[in-house]
Amino acid sequence: MPQVKIIAKNFMDMVASLPAIKLDMLYRNQFICEAILRSLPPLAKKCVLQMLYIDAPIPSKSLQEWVLADGFSKHNVAIDRLVQLRVFEVIDRKKETTYKLNPTFQTSLRKHLIHGGILPREPMPPNVIAILPTSEELDAYALEQWECFLLQLISSGQAEKSSSFGSSMMRIFQRGLLRQREKEAPRLTESGFQFLLMDTNAQLWHVIREYISNSEEQGVDQADLIAFLLELSFHTTGEAYNLDTLTDDQTAMIKDLADLGLVKLQKGRKESWFIPTKLATNLSVSLADTTSRKQGFVVIETNFRIYAYSSSKLHCEILRLFSRVEYQLPNLIVGAITKESLYNAFDNGITAEQIVTFLQQNAHPRVAEKVPSVPENVTDQIRLWESDLKRVELTPAHFYDEFHSRDVFEAASDFARMHSGLLWEDAKKMHMVVRAEINMLMREHLHGIAMILYGIWMLRVWQRDEPGSSFDDLDSTAPWFIYTFLATGITLCLLTCLGHIAADSANGFCLFCYMVIISVLLLIETGIAADILLNSDWEKDIPEDPTGRFLDFKEFVESNIDIFKWIFLIIFLGQGLSVLLGMALRAFSPNQGSNYDSDEEFTQARLPLVNNHAQQSAYVIGEPPFVNKNETWNANK
């Protein structure tokens, strides 16, 4: 089964990223088990409910019999989801894989279905509290608090009232959304611009996710915070709950959540209480649930005119991100989408798809029923204007020329093409451009090829000058220097290929072989260098070279001894660094330790270290925080 990589999108993805021990502790809470069951896709719910009262492991083939043939892909995704959440425990046997429900999850869900769940706190009696706000008043309060936060994110001067956010809390909530340089006002980042175009549930989850991620810095356990937030989502909207029933950490959380509009705090003569809003009770609901989507307000015409039926300053500021607002009436905002306004939006990191999605999701009810809700000429033109900025793509590259022979050029071209690094070539002029990622590999490969071709040339010249010589002559008069030169070039080419294979596949065995060969070469080079430096009669230790090329090479080195000292030092240090890098890659290789038991539920997928062109992507549950889709979580293969 393919490895699953989690990118947190909602509560369930955050739950799946917790360690196994904390997950088992969470599953002791019956409400968390219900929230997990709610979040599962239909096939996963079917599997859980059918296996709820089955204690024996079930083979994977038996699970596949529960679905039709055309649903195998969705079935595999559902199983992956259950395994990631540790709802399913994988039992690997020699012949086949079997699954069983997590005993803690199974016991809690059984009790919840039979006896029902009881919250740790009950609503306060009406005779104790003051008059509770109506549902409309509570929704207006939540919307006002949330818009105040967003307006403060866009510009601190836009908020209608002073915010109760502390400076530390604002830094947490705005992390990654704002950047500030010295002596400059804070500015929105690309993520911040994209954040403003997301729907409210997605925006809320992003802020809550940052809050959860920062909880351990404040001494609060993430599992406890997630458990409390999930419990909060099962409270009744509009009911009052006593603050005295909360722990100190939970009380601090409630005050932070009240700033975001998730709860409303009220105080009586003797007691204080909190009232959950719809933002809190929808926390465990899928982000793609469109049943509770707010009413749209935007009408766009074929002439690119925008009419937004809203009195909200926040809506006006959001429309300014990608359009030109012309005037604002008490309940109407009028503007137009222009090329200049869109170019400004693209420069800020907003994409055409995000603009189109925002217009579609916020379409006025009168036009939302039409298909399409946004005129096609408008959406097409927005995408075309974005493509105008992407006509030229910059790719870091290196230019190669002055090849000494066509054989070397063709060999280098084939090598670059084999590694998907050839960007351009001119066969007539023997010029080529390769990607920067393979530049070092190209240089090593060319060095090896050059040594091989030069060795073959020396051998042919020697054969021409010595008519009685042959390749098979291996006696004392054999051209050992030429053979050594050829062997060195071949070894360098093979080492280049082995190093690329090891880096591309992150294979521990290849890395080990690469390190051993480089280490042997280092020892040989060190021994030869020591013999030359310490032994004045080192020339007597080697046989006579009948070709005379060794003497020519020796004279050339002696005449350029300063340059060759630096060359030898660079080669020696480069090989030493290659060994250290190979050891580091092997030590941190994702597939290390797969032969022993581990507390981790999953091993990470093997990831290439260079050129990820041939690597198949893993299943991804969830999506990046700034991508708007119509599904709660997707599995992309």
Across residues 87-112, what is the average pLDDT?
A: 86
pLDDT at 446: 65
pLDDT at 38: 82
* Tens of pLDDT, residues 521-569: 777 777 777 767 676 666 666 666 666 666 666 776 677 777 767 766 7
pLDDT at 30: 84
**What are the angstrom distances between the C-alpha of 169 and each of 296, 517, 626?**
31, 55, 22
Please give the Cα distance from 360 to 299 (Å, whole number). 10
Q: Which residue has the higher pLDDT, 553 or 356?
A: 356
Residue 236 neighbours by CB under 8 Å, 6+ apart:
123, 276, 281
Confidence grade of residue 104 (pLDDT, cut at 50, 70, 90): very high
Please give the Cα distance from 446 to 450 (Å, whole number). 6
* Tens of pLDDT, residues 200-257: 777 887 888 778 877 777 777 888 888 888 888 888 888 888 888 888 888 888 888 8
HSE-up of residue 358 (Cα within 13 Å, Cβ side): 24
pLDDT at 600: 39
Mean of per-residue pLDDT scores for the chain = 75
Confidence grade of residue 292 (pLDDT, cut at 50, 70, 90): very low
Please give the Cα distance from 48 to 30 (Å, whole number). 15
pLDDT at 143: 86
Confidence grade of residue 183 (pLDDT, cut at 50, 70, 90): low
pLDDT at 335: 95
Q: Is the pLDDT of residue 375 over 50?
A: yes
User: Reduced to 3 states, what is the DSSP secondary structure of residue 492?
Assistant: helix
pLDDT at 621: 34
Q: Which residue has the higher pLDDT, 175 or 362?
A: 362
pLDDT > 70 fraction of the chain, expressed in percent and rounded: 65
Q: Is the pLDDT of residue 86 over 50?
A: yes
Across residues 320-341, what is the average pLDDT?
A: 93
Q: Are 266 and 273 in contact (CB under 8 A)?
A: yes
Q: Are 22 and 637 in contact (CB under 8 A)?
A: no
Across residues 126-149, what is the average pLDDT?
A: 84
Across residues 155-166, what is the average pLDDT?
A: 49
Point out the least confidently predicted range of 135-139, 314-318, 587-591: 587-591
Residue 607 has which token pair?
A: 């990831």
pLDDT at 301: 94
Residue 317: which H helix or E strand, with range?
helix 313-320
* Tens of pLDDT, residues 486-495: 677 677 666 6
Most confident by average pLDDT, 58-62, 517-521, 544-548? 58-62
pLDDT at 11: 59
Q: Is the pLDDT of residue 149 over 90?
A: no
pLDDT at 608: 47
Q: Where are the alpha helices (DSSP H) in 52-174?
A: 60-64, 72-84, 103-115, 135-154, 167-173
pLDDT at 341: 93
* Tens of pLDDT, residues 258-289: 888 889 998 877 888 899 998 888 776 643 34
Residue type, 203: Q
pLDDT at 495: 66
pLDDT at 4: 35
pLDDT at 505: 58
Confidence grade of residue 155 (pLDDT, cut at 50, 70, 90): low
* Tens of pLDDT, residues 382-410: 999 998 887 777 788 888 888 877 877 88
pLDDT at 492: 65
pLDDT at 120: 75
Q: Is the pLDDT of residue 444 over 70?
A: no
Confidence grade of residue 628 (pLDDT, cut at 50, 70, 90): very low
Point out the least confidently predicted range of 46-50, 94-98, 327-331, 457-461: 457-461
| CA dihedral sign of residues 87, 93, 98, 101 | negative
* Tens of pLDDT, residues 470-480: 545 444 455 66
